[in-house]
């Protein structure tokens, strides 16, 4: 059995985590949080462990953060799991990363169903090994009727590639006479992006001390608040997520105007 926050009844939340949850203004929880999960390899190296151990621990931590986000009413989280640039890594590492979704989703799927969480993916499914695409598609199919938080994986994803595909779709609509070039707006572009169903992120979190967006959601991040953490992803737990959200809630989001001034 799960409690109202999504934790199993037998799990105990420490006092600091409970205090943080009470500090969060629930009516101002970010609707969509994007996370660049960085530092798996560095976490492993700092412990004299192989990189693949870091990736496995990082994937296990997805479960922790998913439940923590769901517990406070986040509408969607988009996790940068594998970029189009990551194919440049050693083949043994890529092969291992392509096996992780099978392991993770098979183990986590019953709990995702219990939590009413829907799995989605942005990126190009066609470029994935068949065993990887089957695992992701199965999770999407099994959870498609769930109405709660969206767990959105950016897998084989690159933002510039996404924008190229969006431009191609728009050009095709114009060529077919279904769209007038003069009527193209920012909304037209947003509607052709892979995130059209969940909207732009309110908050971007990047772990492990890096300060760049790395070809991730370039269009969508125009007015997103950024939060950078020095903590490696496998160690970025619920209390760190809540700290980022509390920090976010203290900010004045003006969208270019003078709101609050």
Q: What would the pLDDT profile of 204-236 be if each residue is shown by its tens digit?
A: 999 999 999 999 999 999 999 999 999 999 999
Q: Binding site, residues? A: 38-43, 51, 55, 83-85, 87, 89, 206, 212-214, 225
> What residue ranges define each of the domains in the chain, with the CATH number in brackets?
29-158+198-249 (3.40.1180.10)
Question: Per-residue confidence at 19, pLDDT binned at 50, 70, 90?
Answer: confident
Burial track 174-196 (b if 16+ CB lie within 10 A, e otherwise): eeeeebeeeeeeeeebeebbbbe
Per-residue confidence (pLDDT) for residue 1, from 0 to 100: 52
* pLDDT tens string 109-162: 999 999 999 999 999 999 999 999 999 999 999 999 999 999 999 999 999 999
By annotation, the residues acting in catalysis are 38, 86
**In the predicted structure, residue 73 carries a pLDDT above the cut 70:** yes
Q: Binding site for substrate, residues? A: 39-43, 51, 55, 83-85, 87, 89, 206, 212-214
Per-residue confidence (pLDDT) for residue 6, from 0 to 100: 47
């Amino acid at each position: 059995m799960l409690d109202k926050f999504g934790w199993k009844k037998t799990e105990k939340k420490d006092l600091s985590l409970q205090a943080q949850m009470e500090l969060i203004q629930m009516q101002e929880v970010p609707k969509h949080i994007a996370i660049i999960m960085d530092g798996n390899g560095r976490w492993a190296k700092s412990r004299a462990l192989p990189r693949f151990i870091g990736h496995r621990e990082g994937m296990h931590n997805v479960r922790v953060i998913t439940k923590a986000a769901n517990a406070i009413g986040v509408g969607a989280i988009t996790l940068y799991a594998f970029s189009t640039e990551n194919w440049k890594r050693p083949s043994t590492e890529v092969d291992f990363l392509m096996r992780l979704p099978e392991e993770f989703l098979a183990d986590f799927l019953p709990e995702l169903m219990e939590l009413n969480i829907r799995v989605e993916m942005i990126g190009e499914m066609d470029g994935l090994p068949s065993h990887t695409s089957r695992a992701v598609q199965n999770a999407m199919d099994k959870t498609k009727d769930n109405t709660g938080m969206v767990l959105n994986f950016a897998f084989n994803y690159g933002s510039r590639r996404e924008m190229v595909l969006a431009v191609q779709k728009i050009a095709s609509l114009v060529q077919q006479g279904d769209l007038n070039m003069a009527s193209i707006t920012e909304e037209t572009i947003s509607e052709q992006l892979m995130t059209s169903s969940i909207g732009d992120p309110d908050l971007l979190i990047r772990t492990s001390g890096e300060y760049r967006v790395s070809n991730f959601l370039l269009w969508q991040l125009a007015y997103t608040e950024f939060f950078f953490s020095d903590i490696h992803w496998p160690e970025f737990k619920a209390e760190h997520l809540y700290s980022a959200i509390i920090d976010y809630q203290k900010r004045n989001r003006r969208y270019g105007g003078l709101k609050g001034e």
